[in-house]
Structure 1
């Protein structure tokens, strides 16, 4: 372990997360923090495994809204819960909106309040409580025989499920070394895809049933996650960072030992956590949510919030209505379910592939080019929907392009968003910035949850593939913003990024900007 003083330029001490009273920042770097990606895989296998275990909660979070969105396309569910419109049973847009509200509302509330039990009781106990509560609330959904009861189950369930999206990345970032944190944080996106894929697969398998099991069985499947998670709840290693904050250094050392191989210098790692936590406490002492909007932090708050909100604005919430969207676009019910499964299978493969892309391509490049392709695909889908008579070829072309769209999304802006979210947030208010970004994304999710049913429901706007124009236009606006505002963060430390933001370096110049010790920075 090496203890060195890193000089921070004068203008960075007053902004970008540094107090003016300190002209330096302590950098204590243990060996494992300098490991390559492949070396870290070998020495921190157990940390990866436990991080993946806790991330199963995100799979549950994604499974529920995907399941609900697909139920609208199941004949038996519409018959038992819907109303007759033009000779066909449908769930009204108003009820679709209400039922689907639980998940985005849960993300907003979870982002606001999950930090408190995590800080008071630890990551382990908070996660365990959420798992037990989820298992109990599924009973309401399983036995619901009216929309009113189902609404209660979805709203209460969503409040608990929304906490998983805060717990999982926080736990991953605290148990994995730096070289793995980007990949394990972006693993959250893969868990979303897995949950959505399983939701499509389950409803595809039960859609042909002609009794209540067509929808009751998918709800019951949620207990499988509880059964899988219960045996490990008592054995989850607590976050060593949380234990250090509680003053339990011996417990933190034991946790580090359980999370690492024998090749890791545990004492060095513990010293690093102690000193880094002390520095972060000094930087964040007295900070509030309002500090995120102060001049010195505003740009970083904007970028962190913008990359997360772009996910919603580019059309990702259509995934929750995948089967219903394909059905309303003109495909037969069986074909719609098959397309929805293929839709997310492609997303799964693309998310895994994104990990390789992140090792070789810059964050800004991935984000900007990916968003450009997404906007173009949405516009093409809208144009195809305007073909006179909407021949079957055009309908299938729209559906295939939606699958390609999802693959590009999960290769680019889907996973890279979570990396940029943590790397662009200001050091002094990082946790609060991430919480604000999550809340903003959740609020937009609520807006889309209200709007999308009205846009695709045959009894309302019935836009079908013309939704491509709507989301393509929004994605194009996001593209313009991203080109101007999203910087290149690959290979930069948090301190370097704070300095670059403090000097108001244009986003396009982050990659080649050289930080010299005596204010002699130059652009390569």
Structure 2
């Protein structure tokens, strides 16, 4: 608090210092313990990214080695997303039974088995079995990592920490691209098997470190282990006061009376997940219905913009753009991976500074422009009998611009947003529904891209994606409220109507340890900005 010399003491004649209680406090530093836990948990998304990236190059050699058709290529590329639906669905239940941390270990074990099977595949059918197992592991990882991170993070840095999930997806994609380039020097029948089998290595490394992570405090409360939850919250909160507030909010959400302070208490039956699907789908309240629409919608539109088609089939797109050398195409894909990784890192620092909503809307606007321009460039090339240098350059630049715009907002937003908006009792299953919509849409998009561009041309495909992105911008504007700085237990109050677009200051909800309105630990009034 700032000191002000405002008036003179009537008796002594000396200036009297008045303490002003209205200066906003300094923003807390990043909690190192929470940061480490989030970093380790979200590194599991490397598995998904590596599979996407490595398959883009491996498909070139698999097609030649196993003599498969373009339809089989599409199925092989996209089917893992459909298989991951099983993992996403199962992870919601598993995480409520055995905890968030051990569910992450299950994800590593399953993906490890899938990578080994793919690496030793002798034919197309064997390879599809490996894809099935790996897909279940990917589904587990995609669902549980953001849930764990959101539940362990303090409100002030939750967006920053949860966005690590997408950061490591992009790191995995980049590693997959690099693996493609390195292994391309190996014999054709051996190289693609090494590309796919190497995915088992990060699974082993991650499993060995995740075992040392603490359990989610919210899951501990759901099991009645209040003492363990308090110890974790004390380590992962920005202050002792925030830890107490978080624990009280979680106990209230779990149906535990606030005056119960024993280490182990009896938790009401509904806190273990019974009746969740009924409350989510059959008889949702208006806020829950709004939350579910927002969650499924943001995941659907993320993938329907065609990002996985660009990442997975980038060698084919570069070939259509006029780059014919296999070596040059693989190098160009590395540039795509590098661009995605760079801009996703920028996004992580913006989520808790400018908010989710501005990032999403500006990101999608850039995607619309770059997709439409990319479609124009590819159409010009497609209708020309000779190489047009400016059109090639424009197409490559717009492809990189698209992944940049995507990564700076739309890339990490679905995971960050969907993992924080559900009430505690619905979080695991609700998040799994969003991830299921994500993987289902990705599967449909990637399994139809080759057929799509053969049917309506490569340029027409990207015009279509641009149209979908335009529809998504309208959806986001009217459906997604801002969640920056809100505690997880406050989220339900933001949803239930669509009149929040221009909120009045008096409706602001108290933020925890983030320079927000409301009394601090000393009873002083803090004025925050939004």
TM range (shorter): 0.7 to 0.9
CA contact (8 A) 2:379 2:458 kept: no
Alignment of 1:237 onto 2:214:
yes
Task: Give the deviation of 1:160 after TM superposition.
Answer: 1.6
In structure 1, runs of 5+ residues without a counterpart are 1-33, 83-90, 518-523
Q: Which one of the candidate residues 393, 398, 418 is aligned to 1:396?
A: 393
The one-character-per-residue Cα deviations of 1:284-310 (angstroms, maximum 9, x if unpaired) are 874434544646132332122211111
Alignment of 1:322 onto 2:314:
yes
Task: Give the deviation of 1:226 after TM superposition.
Answer: 3.1
CA contact (8 A) 2:152 2:236 kept: no
RMSD: 3.1
Alignment of 1:298 onto 2:278:
no
The one-character-per-residue Cα deviations of 1:237-278 (angstroms, maximum 9, x if unpaired) are 222332332233444455557x55997579837843762453
Task: Give the deviation of 1:147 after TM superposition.
Answer: 1.1
The one-character-per-residue Cα deviations of 1:390-411 (angstroms, maximum 9, x if unpaired) are 5243123212211111111111
How far, CA to CA, are the matches of 2:427 and 2:215 in structure 1? 21
Task: Give the deviation of 1:178 after TM superposition.
Answer: 1.7
Task: Give the deviation of 1:476 after TM superposition.
Answer: 1.3
Change (3 A) 1:514 1:461: same
Task: Give the deviation of 1:496 after TM superposition.
Answer: 5.9
Task: Give the deviation of 1:325 after TM superposition.
Answer: 2.5
Change (3 A) 1:186 1:36: farther
CA contact (8 A) 1:103 1:162 kept: no
CA contact (8 A) 1:61 1:103 kept: no
How far, CA to CA, are the matches of 2:427 and 2:231 in structure 1? 27
How far, CA to CA, are the matches of 2:193 and 2:274 in structure 1? 49
Change (3 A) 1:36 1:93: farther
SS, match of residue 434 in structure 1: helix
CA contact (8 A) 1:379 1:472 kept: yes
Computing the radius of gyration from Cα coordinates, the structure with the larger value is 2
Task: Give the deviation of 1:438 after TM superposition.
Answer: 1.8
Q: Which one of the candidate residues 252, 273, 277 is aligned to 1:288?
A: 277
Q: Which residue is equivalent to 2:46? A: 59
How far, CA to CA, are the matches of 1:516 and 1:265 in structure 2? 21
CA contact (8 A) 2:291 2:422 kept: yes
**Larger mean Cα displacement after TM superposition, 220-229 or 243-252:** 243-252
Aligned residues: 466
Change (3 A) 1:199 1:276: farther
Task: Give the deviation of 1:128 after TM superposition.
Answer: 2.1
Give the TM-score normalised by the residue count of structure 1.
0.80
Q: Which residue is equivalent to 2:444? A: 447
CA contact (8 A) 1:485 1:507 kept: no
Q: Which one of the candidate residues 167, 190, 194 is aligned to 1:213?
A: 190
Q: Which residue is equivalent to 2:5? A: none
List aligned pairs for 1:436-515, cutoff 5 A: 436-456=433-453, 460-461=454-455, 463-492=457-486, 498-502=492-496, 504-510=497-503, 512=504, 514-515=506-507
How far, CA to CA, are the matches of 1:262 and 1:485 in structure 2? 31
List aligned pairs for 1:411-430, cutoff 5 A: 411-425=408-422, 429-430=426-427
CA contact (8 A) 2:52 2:312 kept: yes
Alignment of 1:372 onto 2:365:
yes
Alignment of 1:178 onto 2:155:
yes
The one-character-per-residue Cα deviations of 1:416-474 (angstroms, maximum 9, x if unpaired) are 23333245446764444323222222221221132113235xxx448334421121111
**Larger mean Cα displacement after TM superposition, 141-150 or 475-484:** 475-484
SS, match of residue 484 in structure 2: coil
How far, CA to CA, are the matches of 1:174 and 1:315 in structure 2? 30
SS, match of residue 313 in structure 2: helix
Q: Which residue is equivalent to 2:300? A: 309
Q: Which one of the candidate residues 115, 118, 139 is aligned to 2:116?
A: 139
